Amino acid sequence: MPELPEVETIKLSLSQKLIGLKIKKITLLNPKSFDGNFKGLYGLEIKTIWRRAKVLGIDLVGGVTLLIHLKMSGQLVYQNGQRIIGGHPTLDMTGSMPNNSTRVIFEFNDDSKLFFNDQRKFGWIKIVNKEQLASNSLLKKLGPEPFDKNFTWKILKENLLKHKSQPVKTAILDQTTIAGVGNIYASEACFLAKLDPRTKIKDLTDSDFRGLYEGIKKSLGNGLKHGGSTIANFINPEGEKGYYLDYAYVYFKAGKPCKICLTKIEKFQLNGRGTYVCPNCQLAPTL
């Protein structure tokens, strides 16, 4: 599910709720979702929460970190006391937790709970120490954060040029090129850059690289502004959906009129991923 804006939304919310709490108990409803000696975390206090690409990190006092990847359908829902949180469009309309998708339950010293729900079971939680964190193969390979001050269009260009024969959308989905862009914002960024997603990297001009850089930052920024995107599964820790898709130009808009030129948005598969374009605003490349 989540790409950078969704994971960032979760990070900001959990930072308000979890810092200073101590882990009292962890229940594994699906042991494969959790890697590590969970009982060793009992009593440890939550110090900081961070995000890198689509990975969430929860640092505990004592040099231990929980790495969390939500993959396609993961949720982190926080419940305090008896309050029934927002509800869910497909999984459980009452919003009561745990539900059929709950894989891991964290209980804290104030009796509040954090539910890791993951319908498709692709997501994972992993305990790492400082050394394992520093050498983690996924984190090590990641490209620059889109909102890092040192990230420039020239760096994007340089990284993209390592994938000269790839379509532009495929290249920006590669987390070693740029961190945190997923299938929704990749389509949106190509639209904003007026580039057909199938355009090969080797055919891009400097003006295209600049446009892509701006388009990526703008689409991710808008996603964050609207609390992320909900297709079916994404909800924030309060149980609320994200509304970016109401503002998106092409993603999930097949058959609908382009917001700029009214041409019908088209959908096709590109390297196995659903891809959306306005055939008028994004001129098809010579294939």
Residue of 209, 208, 228, 212 whose CA lies nearest to 220: 228
Largest CA distance in the chain: 61
- Closest CB to DNA among residues 82, 269: 269
Tell me if 247 contacts DNA by CB under 7 A.
no
Residue from 11, 22, 226, 273 binding DNA (CB under 7 A): 273
Tell me if 279 contacts DNA by CB under 7 A.
no
Tell me if 144 contacts DNA by CB under 7 A.
no
User: Could you tell me which stretch among 14-22, 76-84, 109-117, 118-126 binds DNA (CB under 7 A)?
Assistant: 118-126
54 catalytic? Reply is yes
Distance CA 161, CA 181 (A): 17
Tell me if 168 contacts DNA by CB under 7 A.
no
Query: E strands of the chain, at which residues?
Result: 23-28, 34-35, 46-52, 55-60, 64-69, 74-79, 102-108, 113-118, 124-129, 266-270, 273-277
Tell me if 234 contacts DNA by CB under 7 A.
yes
Least separation in angstroms between CB 116 and DNA: 14
Tell me if 53 contacts DNA by CB under 7 A.
yes
Q: Is 22 exposed, middle or buried (0-12, 13-18, 19+ CB in 10 A)?
A: middle
Least separation in angstroms between CB 110 and DNA: 29
Write out the two tokens for 27.
């229940």
Size of the site for DNA (CB under 7 A): 44
Looking up tokens 């979760």 gives 10
CA angle 261–265–267, rounded 5-degree value = 160
First to last CA, the chain: 30
Tell me if 233 contacts DNA by CB under 7 A.
yes
Distance CA 1, CA 229 (A): 9
Tell me if 33 contacts DNA by CB under 7 A.
no
Residue from 54, 113, 126, 253 binding DNA (CB under 7 A): 54
- Closest CB to DNA among residues 82, 100: 100
For the annotated catalytic residues, the residue numbers are 2-3, 54, 273
Q: Which residues bind DNA (CB under 7 A)?
A: 1-3, 6, 53-55, 69, 71-73, 90-91, 100-101, 119-122, 138, 141, 162-166, 170, 173, 175, 182-184, 228-234, 269, 271-274
